[in-house]
Structure 1
Amino acid sequence: MTGWYPVFLKEMLQFRRKLLRLGYIFSAMMAPIIYLVTFGLGLGKTVKLSEGTDYLTFLLPGLVAMSSMNNSYSWVASSLNLSRLYFKTFQVYIQSPIKPFSIMIGEVMAGMVKGLFASLLIIVVGFVVPSKFSINLIFILTLLLNCFMFACLGVITGMITKSHEDTATYSNFFIMPMAFFSGTFFSIDRIPLIFKPIIYIMPLTHTNILIRKSYIDTEAMISLSLILFYCLCFFLIGSTLMKKYSE
């Protein structure tokens, strides 16, 4: 079980090197800040929500969920893809006396740290702008599960892609639609009924539902159960891909 730590440490050392560059921090904040200014501060005053919440307060948890998804997923997927196909460092992991399960844990935990870092930047902004944004235990639990879930999905993508361009293709087909249609910017109640079955299949939909809850109700329990189900499935699939890796 201790084999995960060298994998995690290697990723954190690379991450620390990036943190020393101000450009990385600004790039991590840029897209969410643009969405916040455009939708929250720009259009927010004209948007009326049926539940009586102001739009900026509604938007901020969605931006946290989206940022944690993007960063947890993209870092792991890109890092694995590059280390497999170009730098050939992933093969060192496989040949070393580290079990695939431990490699999986190390990569996922590293992805979670990067997702949490990006989310923290948005949370800080959320407390600065004029809104009723707040966090609670459900918020924190949901954020952790979301980072874990999409880091596991990033492992799957990083293991099955055949080129670096494939990583962007998967992101365009799966991650980008989730960012816009899973309740980040508007309530899923406004989505036409014919599209709702597809929307409710998307993992981020249930993150957005749960992260905005102040207490556990039936809807929250269903979303939490589905998120746990996705976490388990993605983790097992990623672990299996690493175990059967023979490239």
Structure 2
Amino acid sequence: MINWYPVFLKEMLQFKRKLLRLGYIFSAMMSPIIYLVTFGLGLGRTVRLSEGIDYLTFLLPGLVAMSSMNNSYSWVASSLNLSRLYFKTFQVYIQSPIKPSSIMIGEVMAGMVKGLFASLLIIAVGFVVPSSFAITLIFVITLLLNCFMFASLGVITGMITKSHEDTATYSNFFIMPMAFFSGTFFSIDRIPMIFKPIIYVMPLTHTNILIRKNFLDMEAIVSLFVIVFYCFCFFLIGSILMKKYNE
């Protein structure tokens, strides 16, 4: 069961090298801060929510969910794609005496760390700006599940893409729409009824619902089960793709 650790350690050593560059930290914070300033501190002053909270308090958990999604997914998808198609280092994993499930766990754990790092940067900003932003147990559990879910999805993308450009294509068609239409910047209650079935299929929608809850009501329980279901499915599919890998 510890065979996943060398895979995880290799990714963390590469990640450590990036952390030593100030440019990387600023780049990781840039997009969320732009969204925070534009929507939260700019337009947010004119927005009134039916939930009875200020817009900045509503926005910050959504930005945390979005950042954890983007970083957990993109790091794993890009890393696997490059190591599989260009550097040919992924083939070393396959030929080594490590089970595909162990490779899967190592990649997903590494993706989770990168997603959590980006989320912590937003959380730190959230405690600086004037808002009622707070961290609850549900918030922490949701964040961990969200990182796991999208890191597993990143493995799937990294395994099925045929070129590095395909990774960006999948991101544009799936990740970017989720970032904007899954309740990150505005409540999904405002979305026309005809589009809601599509919105509720998106995994990030349920993350945004659950991460803003202070207690487990029926809506939160349903979203929790949906997220766990997606986690199981994405992890299982990623493991199968690794097991059947032949290139």
What TM-score results when the alignment is normalised by the length of structure 1?
A: 1.00
The 3-state SS of whatever aligns with 1:186 is coil
Whole-angstrom CA distance in 2 between matches of 1:220 and 1:47: 25
Runs of 4+ in 1 over 3 A off after TM superposition: none
Shift of residue 179, structure 1, vs aligned partner: 0.1
2:41 is matched with: 41
Deviation at residue 2 of structure 1 after TM alignment = 1.2
Aligned to 1:108: 108
Asked whether 1:215 is paired with 2:223, we answer: no
- Counterpart CA distance in 2 for 1:161 and 1:22 is 31
* Match status 1:23 vs 2:10: no
Query: How many residues align structurally?
Result: 247
Partner of 2:146: 146
Report SS of the residue matched to 2:143.
helix
In the TM superposition, what whole-angstrom CA distance separates every residue of 1:222-247 from its partner, at most 9, and x where no partner exists? 00000000000000000000000011
Q: Which amino acid aligns with 1:116?
A: L
Residue in 2 that maps onto 1:173: 173
Over residues 148-201 of structure 1, what are the superposed CA-to-partner deviations in whole Å (9 max), with x where a residue is unaligned? Answer: 000000000000000000000000000000000000000000000000000000
Letter in 2 for 1:164: H
Distance 1:169 1:27 in 2: 21
Aligned to 1:190: 190
Identity of aligned residues (%): 88
TM-score, normalised via structure 2 length: 1.00
Give the aligned partner of residue 78 of structure 2: 78
In the alignment, which residue of structure 1 is the partner of 2:93? Answer: 93
**How do 1:207-246 and structure 2 match up within 5 A?**
207-246=207-246
- Deviations for 1:99-126, whole angstroms, at most 9, x for unmatched residues? 0000000000000000000000000000
Give structure 2 stretches of 5+ with no counterpart: none
Counterpart of 2:135? 135
- Residue identity matched to 2:18: K
* Consecutive unaligned residues in structure 1, runs of 5 or more: none
For residues 51 and 185 of structure 1, the distance between their equivalents in structure 2, rounded to whole angstroms, comes to 14
Deviation at 1:42, TM superposition (A): 0.3
Over the residues paired in the alignment, what is the CA RMSD in angstroms? 0.2
